[in-house]
Amino acid sequence: MLNIPLPHDHGQLIEQKLENMPTEEDFQTVADIFKQLCDGSRIRIFWLLCHGEECVINLASLVGMSSPAVSHHLRQLKSSGLVVSRRNGKEVYYKAADTEQAQLLHQMIEKMVEISCPIV
C-alpha cells in the first residue's frame, strides 16, 4: 500500500485505489514503447511486420525508403521489444514480436486509422 501522507483529505481514499500502482519503471517502459509511435514510417514498418516476416531490402522497397533508414527504424523497434529478428545466411528477417504489447499496439494502429488486416 502507498504510504504517502496526502496534504488534503477529500474522503476519496485514493490511497486504497492506488494500492497496486505500477512503479516508475513500469510507466517508463510504457513511455518507451509509445516513443515508437512518434514516426509514421516506423509505425508503417511495424504494421507490415505484424503481417509477416521480411528482410530490410524488401521492407525498404515496400515503404519507399533507403535500407539504412529502414534499418534505423528496425533497431528502434527491436530495442523496445516490438520486433524480433532471425538470421538466415546473410539475410536478416524481421517480424513483430509475439508479445501482448506488440499485439495491442497493432490493434491500436488499426483502430486509429480504421484499416483492417489483409486476408492471408
Q: Interhelix angle for 56-63 vs 67-79, to 10°?
A: 110
What does the alpha-carbon distance between residue 91 and residue 95 come to, in Å, rounded to a whole number? 13
- What pLDDT is recorded for position 1? 45
Joined grid coordinates for residue 68: 539504412
pTM: 0.76
Pick the CATH number of 21-113 from 3.40.50.720, 1.10.10.10, 1.10.1660.10, 3.90.1150.200: 1.10.10.10
Backbone angles phi, psi at 21, to 5 degrees: -60, 135
- What pLDDT is recorded for position 116? 63
- What pLDDT is recorded for position 14? 67
Task: Give whole-number Cα distances, 48 to 36, 51, 54, 115, in Å.
Answer: 15, 5, 9, 12
Tell me how far the alpha carbon of residue 69 is from its chain's centroid.
Answer: 18
- In tens digits, what is the pLDDT along the chain, a chain of 120 residues? 456 676 777 666 666 667 777 888 888 888 888 887 789 999 999 999 999 999 999 999 999 999 999 999 999 999 989 999 999 999 999 999 999 999 999 998 888 887 666 665
